[in-house]
């Protein structure tokens, strides 16, 4: 006897043997038990999920004299007669090759004849969406009012192509993809039946390759069984599927995630020069990145991925070295390439461009790329890998001050000469810096006067503050603050403030809650108060724009006293 493929050898013969699809099997069993058989059924869903198999089982069961648990007994006279190839009570039609009007007209004529051995004459029309519009019209009337002995079972993978007039006359069943755990259990049963030894990792790899289809999985398994002379291993499955070497893919993806564009491009070139297709390399890269995401986010990642321990350890190592935002952005870049390759005449260039883009986050302005760069910078700051060069910051502040002198100082205001900023030694990173803001300096406490009363500890008064001129006062405030604070953080925060005089009260206000809370800290507020004292501004207030000031209630009380006969409502 000729060799029979695994998917044909182990095709289900009873409803209980069907993998999953319980929602369909239960309905069909109940109909067989109660005798409420419909005249038209539509089985739709992905390939390899059991549509044709269940159609054949159901067709035999409704003709069986003594069905057992919804399936044919195989022993009665009707079951024996249906096993004869010459019996036409169950007819299977391939609509892909019999899609014309003539074939459907012929079916319409033959359906009138009663069955020979059973109770029903069953027509299984596979790939029914391939019928032409004329063929659908020829089938329509028969499907609407068929003879009592006729049952139609239509099977398709693309139900959206079937006319609504046909859909409305059928009892529809939607098949779903098979979960991986069920595929693995089915494959173990098949390999045990044929006496083939295997590794669990090989079973998981074949089930993943099946992608929810039992037939696809068994087709891959058939090839793997023929390839492996002894025990079926994970390496055998990879060789059959044509996957790239795992360690080489890990090396390339690790270089991409680490931002080493040179190593990433070199690894990609080595793959392609060895004859691997761009599509295969892209698929393997996406699978590896997905495995890194699973290992990084799931506690039981090894059970989900079902990989050998050494391979999973390599994935965990690379996943721990990268940030979640970075991993997400790289995956998005490669996922977009999968679509671009379908329409590109130069797939190699498209792929290598994606490798360069993914491995150079500094030129990628996507939000996920920026978040990944910020997270990497925060980690370096927390580990003390970055020291802030305050000399460079001082030079930038000096340029900013020169600009402010030109923009904010009038001709009749005295402006002290700009003092040179002495070089400042680079400070070691502070342990309190945890990241989260774009400000890297730690506020410096103001220098306290010496016990001897040395007046040099206080900055000398500046005559640039003019009562009532908020703009001039603000310019003097910034110049003096630089000398008092000796830190770029506070000056940077204050540069975006707005100012105004409210009578004798000088108000500094901002619209940023973050800036307001930072300036209200004891260390920053003490330096601002000292600067105002130096300028001779005795009455000032720091305010968040849109919020009520400290003297709000006092102002409300004054209004109520002035306009005692008016109802004042606070909103």
Interval 72-82: pLDDT, tens: 998 898 988 88
Q: Is 389 part of any domain?
A: no
CA distances from 141 to 90, 146, 157, 225 (A): 21, 8, 23, 49
Q: DSSP characters for 345-398? A: S-HHHHHHHHHHHHH-GGG--SHHHHHHHHHHHHHHHHTT-----HHHHHHHHH
What distance in Å separates the CA atoms of residue 571 and residue 564, rounded to the nearest whole number? 19
Q: Is 391 part of any domain?
A: no
Q: Are 454 and 479 in contact (CB under 8 A)?
A: no
Length, in residues, of the chain: 571
- Mean pLDDT calculated for residue range 144-162: 92
Closest CA to 62 of 75, 51, 52, 71: 71
The residues pairing with 121 across neighbouring beta strands, listed in sequence order, are: 150
**Do 56 and 150 reside in the same domain of the chain?**
yes
- Mean pLDDT calculated for residue range 154-175: 93
Q: Are 355 and 256 in contact (CB under 8 A)?
A: yes
- Mean pLDDT calculated for residue range 9-13: 91
Domain end point (choices 382, 407, 440)? 382
pLDDT over 70 at 68, yes or no: yes
Predicted confidence at residue 24, as pLDDT, reads 93
Phi-psi region of 211 (alpha: psi -120 to 50; beta: other; left: phi over 0): left
**Do 17 and 124 reside in the same domain of the chain?**
yes
What distance in Å separates the CA atoms of residue 7 and residue 27, rounded to the nearest whole number? 25
Closest CA to 447 of 485, 390, 493: 485
Cβ-in-10-Å burial (0-12, 13-18, 19+) of 310 comes to exposed
Q: Are 319 and 311 in contact (CB under 8 A)?
A: no
Predicted confidence at residue 403, as pLDDT, reads 54
Predicted confidence at residue 456, as pLDDT, reads 42
**Do 424 and 293 reside in the same domain of the chain?**
no
Backbone phi and psi for residue 100, each to the nearest 5 degrees, phi listed first? -95, 175
Q: Is 558 part of any domain?
A: no
Predicted confidence at residue 215, as pLDDT, reads 93
Q: Which of 11-20, 415-424, 560-569 has the highest mean pLDDT?
A: 11-20
**Do 219 and 311 reside in the same domain of the chain?**
no
Residue 205 CB contacts under 8 Å (≥ 6 apart), including other chains: 234, 237, 238, 241, 306
**Do 164 and 205 reside in the same domain of the chain?**
no
DSSP 415: -
What distance in Å separates the CA atoms of residue 563 and residue 558, rounded to the nearest whole number? 9
Order of strands, edge to edge, in the sheet holding 505-510?
A: 498-502, 505-510, 540-544
Predicted confidence at residue 256, as pLDDT, reads 92
Q: How many domains does the chain have?
A: 4
**What digits encode the pLDDT tens for the residues 94-103?**
998 888 888 8
pLDDT over 90 at 442, yes or no: no
Predicted confidence at residue 238, as pLDDT, reads 87
pLDDT over 60 at 549, yes or no: no
**Residue 185 is part of a domain; what is its CATH number?**
1.10.8.60
**What digits encode the pLDDT tens for the residues 396-409?**
656 655 655 554 44
Tell me, letter by letter, the H, E, C secondary structure of 431-473: CCCCCCCCCCCCCCCCCCCCCCCCHHHCCCCCCCCCCCCHHHH
Predicted confidence at residue 529, as pLDDT, reads 86
Q: Is 310 part of any domain?
A: yes
CA 51 to chain centre: 32
Tokens standing for 151?
A: 């049952």
pLDDT over 70 at 392, yes or no: no
**Do 416 and 486 reside in the same domain of the chain?**
yes
What distance in Å separates the CA atoms of residue 527 and residue 480, rounded to the nearest whole number? 10
Q: Is 566 part of any domain?
A: no
Q: Is 487 part of any domain?
A: yes
**Do 447 and 345 reside in the same domain of the chain?**
no
Percent of the chain with pLDDT over 90: 30
Predicted confidence at residue 37, as pLDDT, reads 92
In which element (H, E) is residue 98 found? Answer: none
- Mean pLDDT calculated for residue range 273-278: 82
Predicted confidence at residue 411, as pLDDT, reads 43
Q: Are 55 and 153 in contact (CB under 8 A)?
A: yes
What's the pLDDT band for 393 if we cut at 50, 70, 90? low
**Residue 52 is part of a domain; what is its CATH number?**
3.40.50.300
**Do 218 and 252 reside in the same domain of the chain?**
no
- Mean pLDDT calculated for residue range 529-554: 73
Q: Is 59 helix (H, G, I), strand (E, B) or coil?
A: helix
Percent of the chain with pLDDT over 70: 77
pLDDT over 50 at 7, yes or no: yes
Domain span at 541: 396-552
Q: Are 216 and 49 in contact (CB under 8 A)?
A: no
**Do 202 and 265 reside in the same domain of the chain?**
no
**Residue 279 is part of a domain; what is its CATH number?**
1.20.272.10
Q: Is 259 part of any domain?
A: yes
Beta strands 505-510; 540-544: pairing state: parallel
Task: Quote the mean pLDDT of the chain.
Answer: 80
**Do 357 and 233 reside in the same domain of the chain?**
no
Q: Is 1 part of any domain?
A: no
**What digits encode the pLDDT tens for the residues 462-490?**
444 556 678 888 888 888 887 776 657 77
Predicted TM-score (pTM) of the model is 0.59
Predicted confidence at residue 461, as pLDDT, reads 46
Cβ-in-10-Å burial (0-12, 13-18, 19+) of 86 comes to exposed
- Determine the straight-line distance between the first and last CA of the chain, rounded to whole angstroms: 91
**Do 228 and 270 reside in the same domain of the chain?**
no
Tell me, letter by letter, the H, E, C secondary structure of 291-353: HHHHHHHCCCHHHHHCCCHHHHHHHHHHHHCCCHHHHHHHHHHHHHHHHHHHHCCCHHHHHHH
Predicted confidence at residue 419, as pLDDT, reads 46
**Do 356 and 409 reside in the same domain of the chain?**
no
């Amino acid at each position: 006897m000729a060799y029979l493929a695994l998917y044909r050898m182990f095709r289900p013969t009873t409803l209980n043997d069907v993998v999953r699809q319980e929602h369909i099997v239960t309905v069909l069993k109940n109909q067989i038990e109660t005798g409420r058989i419909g005249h038209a059924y539509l089985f739709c869903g992905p390939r390899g999920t059991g549509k044709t198999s269940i159609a054949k089982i159901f067709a035999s069961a409704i003709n069986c004299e003594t069905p057992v648990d919804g399936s044919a007994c195989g022993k009665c006279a009707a079951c024996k007669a249906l096993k004869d190839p010459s019996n036409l009570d169950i007819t299977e039609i391939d609509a892909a090759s019999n899609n014309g009007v003539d074939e459907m007209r012929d079916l319409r004529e033959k359906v009138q004849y009663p069955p020979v051995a059973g109770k029903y004459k069953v027509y299984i029309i596979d790939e029914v969406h391939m019928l032409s519009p004329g063929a659908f019209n020829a089938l329509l009337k028969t499907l609407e009012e068929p003879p009592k002995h006729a049952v139609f079972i239509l099977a398709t993978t693309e139900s959206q192509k079937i006319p609504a007039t046909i859909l409305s006359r059928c009892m529809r069943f939607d098949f779903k993809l098979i979960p991986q755990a069920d595929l693995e259990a089915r494959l173990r049963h098949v390999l045990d039946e044929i006496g083939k030894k295997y590794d669990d990792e090989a079973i998981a790899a074949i089930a993943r390759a099946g992608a929810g289809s039992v037939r696809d999985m068994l087709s891959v398994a058939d090839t793997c069984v023929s390839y492996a002379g002894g025990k079926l291993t994970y390496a055998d499955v990879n060789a059959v599927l044509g996957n790239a070497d795992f360690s080489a893919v890990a090396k390339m993806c690790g270089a991409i995630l680490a931002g080493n564009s040179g190593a990433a491009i070199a690894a990609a070139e080595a793959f392609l020069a060895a004859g691997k297709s761009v599509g295969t390399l892209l698929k393997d890269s996406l699978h590896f990145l997905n495995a890194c995401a699973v290992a990084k986010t799931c506690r039981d990642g090894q059970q989900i991925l079902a990989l050998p321990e050494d391979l999973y350890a390599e994935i965990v190592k690379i996943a721990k070295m990268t940030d979640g935002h970075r991993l997400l952005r790289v995956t998005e870049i490669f996922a977009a390439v999968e679509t671009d390759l379908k329409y590109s005449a130069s797939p190699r260039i498209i792929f290598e461009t994606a490798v360069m883009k993914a491995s150079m986050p500094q030129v990628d302005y996507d939000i996920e790329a920026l978040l990944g760069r910020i997270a990497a910078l925060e980690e370096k700051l927390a580990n003390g890998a970055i020291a802030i060069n305050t000399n460079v910051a001082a030079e930038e502040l000096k340029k900013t001050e020169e600009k402010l002198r030109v923009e904010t100082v009038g001709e009749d205001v005295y402006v002290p000469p700009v003092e040179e900023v002495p070089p400042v030694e680079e400070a070691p990173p502070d342990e309190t810096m945890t990241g989260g803001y774009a400000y890297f300096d730690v506020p410096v406490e103001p220098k306290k006067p010496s016990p001897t009363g040395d007046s040099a500890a206080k900055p000398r008064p500046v005559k640039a503050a003019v009562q009532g001129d908020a703009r001039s006062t603000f310019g003097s405030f910034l110049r003096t603050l630089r000398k008092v604070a000796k830190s770029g953080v506070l000056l940077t925060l204050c540069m975006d403030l707005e100012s105004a005089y409210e009578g004798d009260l000088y108000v500094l206000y901002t619209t940023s809650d973050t800036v307001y809370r930072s300036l209200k800290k004891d260390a920053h507020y003490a330096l601002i108060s000292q600067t105002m004292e130096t300028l001779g501004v005795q009455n000032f207030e720091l305010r968040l724009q849109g919020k009520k000031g400290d003297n709000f209630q006092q102002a409300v009380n004054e209004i109520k006293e002035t306009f005692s006969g008016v109802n004042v409502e606070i909103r």
